[in-house]
A and B are shown apart, each in its own frame.
Chain A
Amino acid sequence: MSIQIRLSTTLRDLVPGYDPENGLVFELKEGESSLAARDVARRMGIPPEEITIVMINSRQSDLDGTVNDGDRVAFFPPVGGG
C-alpha cells in the first residue's frame, strides 16, 4: 500500500537526502487505501502551504485531492523564473 512521491525544486530541501531520480515511496497506514494530498504532505514533513501545484498521476489536482494506493503524486512550489 504505497504512493510514489516526486518533489520539485525548493520542496526537495525539506526532505534531507531526497533523490530526484527515485523520488520517495510513501507507505499508507494499515487499513488506509486513500488519503488527501494535504495529509500525505504533512506526514512527509512538508508544510502544505509550501505546495502550490499538485499533480496526481500527471493530472492537475489540489491539496484536497484524493490519493489512492499506487498513485504517483508530484508536489510543486511556484515555478516562475525567467
Chain B
Amino acid sequence: MSAFPGRERLLTMLAPFSQGTAAHPAVSFAGIRFLAKELQLPERDVMTALLRQDIWPLRLVRGRGAFSGEDIARLMELRILMAGCGGLGGMTAELLARMGAGHLVLCDPDVFEESNLNRQCFCTEKTLGLPKAEACRSGLLDIAPYMDIEALPVALDEKNLPGLLERADVVIDCLDSVAKKKMLEKAAWTAGVPCVHGAVSRSEGFTMFDSGIPLPCALLYPEEGEQAADHAPMDAHALTVAGTSCLMVSLLMRRIRGHRSGDGRLFHIDLSIPELEALAFRSDSAARDTSF
C-alpha cells in the first residue's frame, strides 16, 4: 500500500476528475476509482482520506454546507448495525447511504409483502417475496457501490446479538415491537454500544439516542405485560417513516459532530399536525459515556 498523497499532489492527480474551485474541490466517482486503483486502496478508504483533506467526493459534496469533511469521514468509518430493514430500517439505511455511511450490517428475517409498499424504501413490486435484508443491500449498492454491506436474513435474539454488537460502533433500532426493542437495548447497553431508537404508529413517531439515559425503552415500557400488546402490526405510512428516520439519522449525525443537546430526550413527531416535541425522561442522566 502506498502512502496517501498530500493535498497538492492529490489535486494534481485528480484534476481531470475535479469540479469546483481549488479551495473547494469535488471529485467524480471516476476520479475516486482512479485513485483507488493507483493507490491500491478500497474506494471507501480513498473517500475517507480525501474528505479529511476537505476534498469532497462529488456524490457527497452537496452536504458540505451542513457538515465538515471530518464529519462525513467519521460516518464513513462507523460500523453500523441495522436492526430491522422494514419501514424505518430501509429508509434509515438509504439516508445513511446518501449521507456517506460506509459500513452496514442489515438484519431482518422477513420478506417484502404487498402491504409494505406504502412505506418501505426498497419494497417494490419487483422485490415482493424477497428477503428484506438482501433487497435492501442490493438497493443500497445501487446508490453507493463502495459500501461494505452485509445482509443477514435473521431475527436478532439474545444469542446472536453479542457477536453482532462486538463488531458494531452503533446500533440503529428499527425493530417492530416493544419487546424486541427492550431486548436489543439491553444487549447493546451490556456491550457498551450506543443505540439510536425509532418507533412509529400511524402518523406519530418516537426517536431517542440512549446516550445519557440508560435503557430508555424499559423506562417507557416498564411493565412486562405491555409487551403482549404490540404483537399486532402497527399501522404507519410513508410520511411517518420518513420523518422519524430523518430524526434518527439527525441524532446520529449530531453525536458524530460532538453535539449532545439532544441526548437523553425523547423526540415525538406528529405528522398529522405537524409537530415536533422534545420530551424528558423521569430518570436522571446515566453516567456512562457512549462516544464512538
Contacts and interface: CB of A to CB of B under 8 A. Distances in A.
Given A52-B220, A58-B278, A60-B219, A82 B201 contact: no
A24 to B, nearest CB: 14
A8 interface: yes
User: Interface size class for chain A?
Assistant: 10 to 19
Contacts of A61: 282
User: Interface size class for chain B?
Assistant: 35 or more
Question: 3 smallest A-B Cβ distances: which pairs?
Answer: A81-B234, A82-B176, A80-B178
A9 interface: yes
Contacts, number: 83
Interface in A1-55: 8-10, 20-21, 52-53, 55
A48 to B, nearest CB: 13
B226 A78 contact: yes
B286 interface: no
Given A55-B279, A60-B281, A81 B236 contact: yes
B10 to A, nearest CB: 42
Interface of B: 84, 86-89, 174-178, 181, 198-206, 219-221, 226, 229-230, 233-236, 266, 268, 270, 272-273, 277-282
Given A52-B221, A80-B177, A82-B174, A60 B282 contact: yes
Interface of A: 8-10, 20-21, 52-53, 55, 58-61, 74, 77-82
Given A52-B220, A52-B221, A60-B281, A79 B176 contact: no
